[in-house]
């Protein structure tokens, strides 16, 4: 005796569609439309009819026979027509569905207007360019010998996406064929030529050299140029540690002067390779739209993201119950698969709507006031409210997005753990992160708040959070420690 879960093909398909994102679901629907002739898109304005075309074979058969008879009649009438009759019945100019002006407006709708000064053609049409291809393009314009060009290509391959040289010159030199007799001085000379390419600072071996290369490309008349070069060459570690008193003592300059030198260094780019966009933009299509109407939050599915499907009534009318031929069996199977697919889509939409409605009901405070009003929420709470398993809620909230007046958020964003408050209540970790971010933004930059101080301020608000928990939340927000947030200005 034993128990086991048997998953039917319909259930497997429903679960698979449930966990797909909107973009993946659109691709899945397109593949289903291409592989199943029984499925078709429902255009706007058409009545949605998904009734079972196999419910009554007596109706489908006369319909098919009537269509065959009409086809035979039209064929016979065409054979009886004489050549003169064809010329009389077909007009010289056939009507069209649209005018040239409509076509022109449609194709030119994405073009800029005459007063649009910020429109850039390359940002909408060009593909992402990698840093290596950008450097190789500049290399092709530079006069070099074949040996130097080989060295340059090898160096460019060793430059990472941030613009730094990952391998040492010794390792690169050792990788060449001994018969080429390439020495270390040649590799270093070619590297200096690459370091003159754009973007400024590319090909550097460390942060100090990267900033120094950028300083050298600035005009010689730039104020505090000599002090900035000395700072990035000899005291880059002290600058990273925010040890301003030590910097002023070693460089023998005053606080106001050091502030201006640091401002010049901060105007440089420590990651020059990031200027070259190498990845294509990622688009997010919201599955659910939330809006406020008469002090009530309304939830609705994004109908434009998912096309409406139906069974093709013409093809479905050809299916006969008593026919066991191969063609009829194929059409019967395709009809059944089309009905399963449409039902799985409807089940996905219903489940997504239920979960999104419960999330909005639970997180009204966030929609009204922001992150600080976020309430604690776990999968079990939503699972109990909608009567489903937690694994189903997890699938629904993965890669599904909600469009709200505050922005587009993944459904998982609304789920967070909780900590206790002094009054015995609970506070969401998302709300605590928002409070920490607000405290750091308002701190005195000359004396930034430590993790212990932040924990004390939270406790004063009734939120009991340990110092290590504050450090964990601070790191998740990308906020540096207090020693690295210290500023002179």
Compute the distance between CA of residue 154 and CA of residue 377 in angstroms, rounded to an integer: 53
Q: Give φ, ψ of 289 to 5 degrees.
A: -115, 130
Compute the distance between CA of residue 236 and CA of residue 242 in angstroms, rounded to an integer: 10
- Are 271 and 336 in contact by the 8 Å Cβ rule? The answer is no
3-class SS of residue 47: coil
Residue 403's pLDDT is what? 92
Q: Dihedral of the CA atoms 69, 74, 75, 81 (nearest 10)?
A: 150
The answer to whether residue 214 sits within a structural domain is yes
Domain boundary among 218, 244, 279: 279
219, 324: one domain: no
407, 433: one domain: no
323, 454: one domain: no
The answer to whether residue 36 sits within a structural domain is no
Nearest to 273 by CA among 227, 196, 341, 204: 204
Tell me the whole-structure pTM to 2 decimals.
0.59
Does the N-terminal peptide bond of residue 162 adopt cis geometry, omega within 30 degrees of 0?
no
Nearest to 365 by CA among 322, 427, 305, 423: 427
Report how far Cα 323 is from the mean position of its chain's Cα atoms. Answer: 50
172, 273: one domain: yes
Token pair for residue 236? 């880059």
The answer to whether residue 45 sits within a structural domain is no
CATH number at residue 431: 1.10.10.60
Query: What does the angle CA 263 – CA 266 – CA 272 come to, to the nearest 5 degrees?
Result: 155
Domain boundary among 279, 301, 321: 279
Domain extent, residue 409, equals 288-414
- pLDDT tens for the chain, 489 residues long, are 777 666 677 777 777 888 788 888 888 888 888 888 888 887 765 554 555 444 444 444 444 444 444 434 444 444 444 444 444 444 555 454 444 444 444 333 344 444 555 544 444 444 557 888 888 998 888 888 888 889 889 999 988 888 898 888 888 888 888 888 888 888 899 999 989 988 888 988 898 899 999 999 888 888 888 888 888 888 888 888 778 888 888 888 888 888 888 889 888 888 888 887 656 667 788 889 999 888 888 988 888 877 788 888 888 888 877 777 888 888 888 888 889 988 888 888 899 999 999 999 888 888 888 887 888 888 888 888 888 888 888 888 888 899 999 889 888 888 877 666 655 566 777 888 888 888 888 887 778 888 888 888 888 887 778 888 888 888 888 888 877 677 655
Helix 207-216 and helix 225-234, axial crossing angle in degrees, nearest 10:
160
3-class SS of residue 69: helix
403: exposed, middle or buried (Cβ count in 10 Å: 0-12, 13-18, 19+): middle
Residue 6's pLDDT is what? 64
The answer to whether residue 102 sits within a structural domain is no
| Neighbour tally for 67: CB within 10 Å | 13
Q: Give φ, ψ of 370 to 5 degrees.
A: 110, -170
| Neighbour tally for 373: CB within 10 Å | 16
The H or E element that residue 385 is part of is helix 379-386
3-class SS of residue 248: helix
- Are 448 and 485 in contact by the 8 Å Cβ rule? The answer is yes
14: exposed, middle or buried (Cβ count in 10 Å: 0-12, 13-18, 19+): buried
Compute the distance between CA of residue 195 and CA of residue 211 in angstroms, rounded to an integer: 12
- Are 209 and 164 in contact by the 8 Å Cβ rule? The answer is no
The answer to whether residue 147 sits within a structural domain is yes
Residue 357's pLDDT is what? 92
Compute the distance between CA of residue 339 and CA of residue 28 in angstroms, rounded to an integer: 15
Compute the distance between CA of residue 136 and CA of residue 156 in angstroms, rounded to an integer: 8
Compute the distance between CA of residue 298 and CA of residue 307 in angstroms, rounded to an integer: 22
> Cβ neighbours of residue 359 under 8 Å, at least 6 residues apart?
377, 382, 402, 411, 414
Residue-wise DSSP of 172-229? HHHTS-GGG---HHHHHHHHHHHTTSSSTTTTBSSHHHHHHHHHHTS-TT-TTHHHHH
Compute the distance between CA of residue 30 and CA of residue 160 in angstroms, rounded to an integer: 38
148, 261: one domain: yes
3-class SS of residue 56: coil
408, 343: one domain: yes
Residue 370's pLDDT is what? 83
Nearest to 39 by CA among 302, 308, 304: 308
Residue 420's pLDDT is what? 62
Compute the distance between CA of residue 150 and CA of residue 450 in angstroms, rounded to an integer: 52
133, 264: one domain: yes
The H or E element that residue 427 is part of is strand 426-428
396, 435: one domain: no
| Neighbour tally for 51: CB within 10 Å | 11
CA end-to-end span of the chain: 76
The answer to whether residue 93 sits within a structural domain is no
Domain count, the chain: 3
158, 233: one domain: yes
Domain boundary among 397, 414, 431: 414
The answer to whether residue 257 sits within a structural domain is yes
455, 390: one domain: no
Token pair for residue 164? 């730094």
Q: Dihedral of the CA atoms 472, 474, 479, 481 (nearest 10)?
A: -70
Query: What does the angle CA 239 – CA 446 – CA 232 come to, to the nearest 5 degrees?
Result: 15
The answer to whether residue 358 sits within a structural domain is yes
310, 335: one domain: yes
434, 373: one domain: no
């Amino acid at each position: 005796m034993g128990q086991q879960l048997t998953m039917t093909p319909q259930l497997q398909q429903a679960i698979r569609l449930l966990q797909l994102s909107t973009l993946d679901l659109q691709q899945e629907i397109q593949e289903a439309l291409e592989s199943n002739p029984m499925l078709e898109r429902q255009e706007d304005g058409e009545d949605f009819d998904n009734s079972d075309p196999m419910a009554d074979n007596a109706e489908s058969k006369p319909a098919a026979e009537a269509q065959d008879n009409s086809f035979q009649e039209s064929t016979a009438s065409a054979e009886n027509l004489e050549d003169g009759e064809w010329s009389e019945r077909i007009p010289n100019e056939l009507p069209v569905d649209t005018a040239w002006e409509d076509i022109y407006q449609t194709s030119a709708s994405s073009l800029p207007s005459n007063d649009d000064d910020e429109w850039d053609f390359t940002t909408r049409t060009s593909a992402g360019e990698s840093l290596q291809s950008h450097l190789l393009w500049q290399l092709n314009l530079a006069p070099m010998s074949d040996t130097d060009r080989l060295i340059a290509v090898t160096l460019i391959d060793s430059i990472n996406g941030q613009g730094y040289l990952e391998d040492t010159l010794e390792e690169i030199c050792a990788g060449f064929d001994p018969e080429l007799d390439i020495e270390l001085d040649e590799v270093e000379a070619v590297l200096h030529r690459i370091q003159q390419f754009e973007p400024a600072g590319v090909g550097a071996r460390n942060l100090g050299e990267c900033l120094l290369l950028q300083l050298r490309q600035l005009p010689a008349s730039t104020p505090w140029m000599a002090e900035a070069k000395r700072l990035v060459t000899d005291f880059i570690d002290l600058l990273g540690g925010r040890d301003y008193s030590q910097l002023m003592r070693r460089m023998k300059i005053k606080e106001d002067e050091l502030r201006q030198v640091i401002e010049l260094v901060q105007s440089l780019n420590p990651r020059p390779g990031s200027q070259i966009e190498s990845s294509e933009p990622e688009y997010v299509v919201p599955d659910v739209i939330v809006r406020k109407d008469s002090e009530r939050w309304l939830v609705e599915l994004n109908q434009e993201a998912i096309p409406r499907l139906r069974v093709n009534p013409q093809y479905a009318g050809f299916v006969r119950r008593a026919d066991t031929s191969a063609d009829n069996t194929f059409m019967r199977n395709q009809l059944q698969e089309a009905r399963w697919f449409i039902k799985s889509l409807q089940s996905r939409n219903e489940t997504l709507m239920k979960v999104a409605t419960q999330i909005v009901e639970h997180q009204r405070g966030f929609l009204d006031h922001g992150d600080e009003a976020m309430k604690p929420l776990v999968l079990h709470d939503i699972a109990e409210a909608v009567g489903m398993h937690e694994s189903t809620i997890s699938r629904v909230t993965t890669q599904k997005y909600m469009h709200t007046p505050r922005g587009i958020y993944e459904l998982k964003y609304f789920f967070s753990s909780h900590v206790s408050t002094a009054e015995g209540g609970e506070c969401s970790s998302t709300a605590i992160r928002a409070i920490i971010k607000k405290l750091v933004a308002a701190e005195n930059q000359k004396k930034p708040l430590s993790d212990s101080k932040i924990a004390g301020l939270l406790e004063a608000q009734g939120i009991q959070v340990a110092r290590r928990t504050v450090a964990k939340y601070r790191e998740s927000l990308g906020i540096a420690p207090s020693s690295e947030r210290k500023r002179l200005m």
